[in-house]
Structure 1
Amino acid sequence: MQKHKLWLWFGLITVAVMGIIYWLIPHSPPSPGHAQAPTARTSATSPLAVSSPNSSATLPFLSPSQQDTEINCQLQLDSGNRLMVNEQTRNCFEYFITQYGEKSLEQIRQDFQRYIAQTHQEPALGQILDLWKRYLDYRERLGELQPPQLDPDSPQYYRSIFTSMKNLRQQFFSAYEIEGLFGVEDVYHDYTLERLSVMDNKQLSEAEKAQKLKALFEQLPEDWQANLEQLNKLEDLRALTAEIKARGGSSTELRQMRLNLVGPEATQRLEQLDVERSHWKTRVIQYLNERDQILSAGLNDAAKQQAVAELRQQYFNNPQEQLRLDTFESVHDQGGKLPFAE
């Protein structure tokens, strides 16, 4: 039982460690030529379920938490009724594996075998069950891998994890199966590891890092770029801007980094945003200083409130700005750090 727990927990830990990687992966259908065997000509999608999710035919295969879902098992077959291994194959396997905890591992094995026997015929049936057995064995061995003795914050730590995983896969799957099961995920893993290496490179300036990050991003497929552009660039901008400010870098360095990463138009918008933020910060600080003077003056409470209200209106006559100001007043009065955007 302990061994079975280990293989599941290692998978969960890996997902937790690389969660930011996996959920970013575009899950669009694979292109026609992706991960197909040389003999594959056309594909057919196997039945998602033999009937509705709540029917007696599918209920035995669902865990209690899955009762309101359809069985996610969109296996693709070629014209000869042979399995085409791709990301959907792995999704099908993982759908059943996630039942662990609500069902025993042995029950999961049996349920999958019965489900596939109901929905597929030979030769696909034998191929699916053979691959399923090897996939479970792989997941169990995955739980026996030891984390590297490296700094968990370093790119080398994550690279070592994925090198171990890739080496383990070769013990259970053919090159075609590895590409089909893990190819889409590995493209993004490799990209992310390269990004981490660039960000960790102490020999590069922030502007050079921005240039390399942009080049890496442009090597991704176009549909991936569409999904990842905003999130990646925002994160890179945040990290590189923080690096420049932490070492007291110049506005020229900041501008060059932005130009390299997001181009001239976006840089111009960011610079305008800098001006607006600086103006806001100046007004807030001036207002709070004058407000402090009023509150410490020898006036009665009514006079203080009237003076503060007039001061507020003088600096911030926009209702939305006055709402924002409430937060700054509260933090200031409690002695906290003012929440200015950097």
Structure 2
Amino acid sequence: MGIFSVTTWNVTMKRACYYILPPVVIIAYASITTLQKGQHSLPQAKSGLATQQEVMVSDKELSSNKKEHEYLAVNGNNSSNTTVVKGILPASWQGTRIDGRLKIDEAGHLIVEQQTKDLFDYFLSAAGEVPTEELIVKLQHYLTENLPSPAKEEGLSLLNDYISYRVELSNYQEQYANLHLNENAQEISDNLQQGYSQNNVEQLQTHFEHLYQLRRDKLGMDVADAFFGLQEEYDQYQLEKIKIAQNDSLSVAQKQAEYNRILDEMPTQVRFIVAPEQVMSQLSDINQQYISEVDRYQARSELLGDEAAQRLAALDKKREQWKSRLSTFRTMKAEIERSGLSTPDQQQAINQLLNDQFSHHERRRVAAIENINLP
């Protein structure tokens, strides 16, 4: 898959978010990785509220005398409505949650997005533990059981195209073993001192171009954009960094100016990973500049996409609700403190108020904020 393996790409993206970014930006990232510009229905259909299936692997322990295990597809949050698919459970799946998701639009068509590919890759990642043919059958069965028509037929057709792409990719990658293309682009950029010649860079550019065309030949433009668009933007950014670093005609200051230029030209999703502080700063500016919920939503949507804007709006509401609840508690607590009760009785009344107004987890948080001694 080009300079990134599936695992390397996911780990790189997730590490960048969960170890660098604050919670408000992490929430936005959860939506950004769906690659808003790459969501498509097959065939094109009127978009609408999508239904979503959350999938998880059974946490039943593996045992030598049980070859049959189950993984469950849970429709929404209704755990009683499940589809059980039998099969040998690879050890690497045990206790994990299936990556990706399936989404359909109001017309019943499959919405093709990055997370569709993630779902495919999750099943296929167990190759080596289980024969690939069996994994494909499992995935076909899963799609059949969990998608209504016409999304079911679209999903099966898409899987066939994706398998064909992966076969062609495997054959092609053997030609580029000398370029260490299993490393990710950031590692290549960080290790320039080990020596990438101009010829290497040109080969990498040719490699990217070939992958770009191969993906679109096998998957079509819309699906390739949905599956690989963000990755391709990031790969190209790293390649441009290599070219700038190797340009001896540029001074240090000029190189930095070029780095800034190519970063500014990248979509927000790439800048979110490469320079998260920029996105954080922009989000902060939006929060300060826009008082209206509508205006704030629009600005966030333009920066991060609709899904991220929706999540941030939901977070705003939760924060406002929390502030309101905390304010009410403080008012009632102040009334208790003015009631003339003895100190022990006040403490008991405040603790009772705390128990009535907040959950166990919330009580600990409020107690820390208000300096309350819990019993």
TM value normalised by structure 2: 0.52
- Equivalent residue for 2:128? 101
Asked if structure 1 preserves the Cα contact closer than 8 Å seen for 2:53 and 2:101, the reply is yes
CA distance in 2, matches of 1:231, 1:150: 35
The higher relative CO (CA closer than 8 Å, separation ≥ 6) is in 2
Hey, what does 2:80 align to over in structure 1?
A: none
SS in 2 for 1:147: helix
The equivalences for 1:17-96 within 5 A come to: 19=8, 23-24=12-13, 28-29=30-31, 30=34, 34-37=38-41, 39-49=45-55, 52-54=58-60, 56=70, 57=84, 60=87, 62-96=89-123
1:120 counterpart = 2:147: yes
CA positional deviation for 1:125: 0.4
1:172/1:69 CA distance change after superposition, 3 Å: same
Deviations 1:81-110 (A, max 9, x none): 111111011101110110100110110111
> Which residue number in structure 2 is paired with residue 199 of structure 1?
245
Pairwise CA distance, 1:51: 8.1
Give the Cα separation in 1 of the matches to 2:247 and 2:6.
21
One-letter amino acid of the counterpart of residue 39, structure 2: A
- Quote the residue 1:130 is aligned against: 157
For 1:14 and 1:227, the matched residues in 2 are separated by 17
CA distance in 2, matches of 1:59, 1:111: 9
Question: How many residue pairs get matched?
Answer: 221
Aligned-CA RMSD value: 3.3
Residues 86 and 181 in structure 1, CA contact (< 8 A), matched pair in contact too:
yes
Deviation at 1:67, TM superposition (A): 1.4
CA 1:171/1:31 → structure 2, altered by over 3 Å: closer, same or farther? closer
**Mapping of residues 189-228 of structure 1, within 5 Å:** 189-222=235-268, 224-228=270-274
Partner residue of 1:318?
none
Aligned equivalents of 2:142, 2:177: Cα separation in 1? 42
2-structure distance, mates of 1:218, 1:49: 37
1:15, distance to aligned residue in structure 2 (A):
3.3
Unaligned runs of 5+ in 2: 18-28, 61-68, 71-83, 181-195, 279-375
2:213 maps to: 167
Q: Aligned residue for 2:184?
A: none
Larger radius of gyration: 1
- Matching of residues 261-272 of structure 1 within 5 Å: none
- In the TM superposition, residue 151 of structure 1 has moved relative to its aligned partner by 7.2
Contact 2:57 2:94 in 1 (8 A): no
Q: Which residue of 2 aligns with 1:147?
A: 175
Q: Deviations over 1:184-205 (max 9, x none)?
A: 1111112111111111222212
The reply to whether residue 158 of structure 1 matches residue 147 of structure 2 is: no
After superposition, the C-alpha distances for 1:145-193 in whole angstroms (9 at most, x for unaligned) are 1535987723223222211211212321211111111111111112111
Instruction: Render the CA deviation track for 1:111-141: whole Å, top value 9, x for unaligned.
Output: 0011111111110000001110110111011
CA-CA distance at 1:73 after TM superposition: 3.7
Asked if the contact 1:43–1:78 (Cα under 8 Å) also holds between the matched residues in 2, the reply is: yes
* Structure 1: gaps (5+ residues): 1-10, 233-342
Q: Following the alignment from structure 1 to structure 2, what is the Cα–Cα distance between the partners of residues 69 and 139? A: 24
Gap change, CA 1:192 and 1:33, over 3 Å in 2 = closer
Cα distance in structure 1, aligned partners of 2:7 and 2:93: 25
1:15 counterpart (4, 20, 24): 4
* Separation in structure 2 between the aligned mates of residue 17 and residue 122 of structure 1, nearest angstrom: 29
Q: 1:36 is matched by which residue type in structure 2?
A: H
> Which has a greater percent of strand?
2
CA distance in 2, matches of 1:178, 1:20: 16
Equivalent position amino acid for 1:41 in 2: S
**Inter-partner Cα distance in structure 2 for 1:17 and 1:95:** 9
Deviations 1:6-34 (A, max 9, x none): xxxxx5x8436995897248763236554
Q: Contact (CA 8 Å) 1:53, 1:71: kept in 2 or not?
A: no
Contact 2:109 2:150 in 1 (8 A): yes
Tell me the equivalent position of 1:110. 137
